[in-house]
Amino acid sequence: MKQLSGLDATFLHLETSAQFGHVSSLSIYTRPDSPDYRPYDAWKGQLQRRLHLLEPLRRRLAEVPLGLDHPYWIADPDFDLDFHVRHTAVPPPGTDDQLAVLAGRLVSRPLDRRRPLWLSYVIEGLADRRFAVLTIVHHATIDGASGVELMTLMLDDRPEGAPVPPETDGWTPERPPGDLEMLARGALGLARKPARGLLLAAWSAREVGRATRNPVLVRAANDVRRSLRGPLGTVLNLGRQRPEEPDQPSAMPSVRPPRTPFNGPITPHRKLAIRSTSLDVVKQVKSALGVTVNDVVMAACAGGLRTWLDRRGALPTDPLVALVPVSVRTGEETDRWTNRVSMLSAVLPTDEPDPVRRLRRVHESMASSKELFSALPADRLTDFAEFPPPAVFARAMRLSARLRLGSRLSPGNLVISNVPGPRAPLYAAGARLEHYFPVSTIVEGQGLNITVQSYLDRLDWGLVSCAELLPDVDVLLADILDEMDALAAAAGVAVPGSEPAAPAKPRQARSAGGRARTRG
């Protein structure tokens, strides 16, 4: 058995009837030339041959009674691949918008915790010999970076396939543990948590004090650490120190977000919008203006949100606040199938009318947030969830979700994530992967998530919203892509097939294709 980390368990505790903990991906493939090709059979066989490489697919939860400790993963003795791989289709004519509607409905339901926490839907009926695969995996199992790794293990790097490494150790299902055994494990796990939590808090306060040049924090933290030196400190391995760094303190961005139409109580219903942009155009913009690819993505989001909100008379005078997931993987993790992710907040300058000035402000805000974020090294950022007593922690998380505290106390307006993906083509049983659209999750108080995944020479966009708070998420995505074109024009970057920009007006999102976009 393998225990979930505190961060992994958090994604379980936060689930309600309207807030789900799973993340998804919508992959679109082109069929091979074979007339007998059956996408469902091909995809199921692809996974069957690789199950021994895909540890998260064959493990399920074993809960500790009374919530005394975090749950454990066990190798599911009742694993059934037929339960997890499912078959469906979109009606004619099989457009991308129809696919997005179906995917939004499929992710609008929780996963069965009595089974391994994933599902995969093979979706047929798409035009132009295409089919799609919607894979849903619980966030307790993977984060964005490990999700990309899981995808690459599922697929081949050439059309004819590649030899699959044999299963050397053999897979042995585990006997589900009894309540007494799990109670004993839970009791043993509680002994060290309070002292370790106190020391971690002291260490973190000292690091933040150094980063902000606050002598009171540094002195208080050192007093706590000195009082806990000796055998306890040796056992808890907290003697490591970082060298002194002469960095200048950075300005902390405001983290009090204004209200928008998509910041409110969410429902279980989801809407999805998918499109693609040229990665090469984005790279030319970032080089021409001296920023990063992520800055360009964030600025395009800011401009699109400004247009969308202004059209509805709902544009706040203050800028929005974006929460940006940050991978804290060091490459030295012993367990790759777990969450190593944290979050920083950044000002999203929706109050700035000029696209280039908006991009400059995004760049400055992200630089400031990253500098403050670096005050705590990566190997400590996810440790805090380990130390509260799990039973109390779980109840607090559930109470927060039930009381909809996120709608009142949310630290951000939305989440924006940019995940780097493979630069070489991938295949599933001979079918070429054309697009890999991310389908992330939304939380109470934040009815919008924007996630971008790079693949080959494209950026694949996936916008997920609460259907009641933001029903026209496809229009918002069109506004964002218009802003991307505006940034390219401002940077003097030619966009293939571009036309003079027209004034923004309410409309349905254009079908993918043309300009900087490719069909998804």
- Reading the block at residue 209, the tokens are 């004090």
Determine contact, residues 58/76, Cβ cutoff 8 Å: yes
pLDDT (tens, 9 = 90+) of the chain, 520 residues, equals 888 887 788 888 889 899 999 999 999 999 999 999 999 999 999 999 999 999 899 999 998 887 778 899 999 999 999 999 999 999 999 999 999 999 999 999 999 999 999 999 999 999 999 999 999 999 988 876 777 788 888 999 999 988 888 887 778 889 888 877 877 776 666 555 554 444 444 444 454 455 445 554 445 445 544 544 444 444 444 444 434 333 443 444 444 799 999 999 999 999 999 999 999 999 999 999 999 999 999 999 999 999 999 999 999 999 999 999 887 655 666 666 666 667 788 999 999 999 999 999 999 999 887 776 665 554 554 454 454 555 544 555 555 555 555 555 578 999 999 988 899 999 999 999 999 999 999 999 999 999 999 999 999 999 999 999 999 999 999 999 999 999 999 999 988 755 433 333 433 444 344 444 433 4
Is-catalytic flag, 139? yes
Q: What is the per-residue pLDDT for 443? A: 92
At a CB cut-off of 8 Å and minimum separation 6, what does 223 contact?
A: none
Q: What is the per-residue pLDDT for 335? A: 67
**Catalytic residue among 138, 139, 363, 435, which?**
139
In this structure, are strands 2-3 and 72-75 parallel, antiparallel, or unpaired?
antiparallel
d(CA 477, CA 462) in angstroms, rounded, equals: 9
Q: Which CATH architecture has domain 270-422+440-491?
A: 2-Layer Sandwich (3.30)
Q: Which residue ranges make up each domain of the chain?
A: 270-422+440-491
Nearest to 144 by CA among 425, 398, 340, 288: 340
- Which long-range contacts link 371-375 to residues 24+ away (Cβ below 8 Å)? 371/211, 371/247, 371/250, 372/211, 372/250, 372/252, 372/344, 373/326, 373/342, 373/344, 374/211, 375/207, 375/208, 375/210, 375/211, 375/212
Q: What is the pTM of this model?
A: 0.80
Q: What is the per-residue pLDDT for 148? A: 77
Q: What is the per-residue pLDDT for 252? A: 43
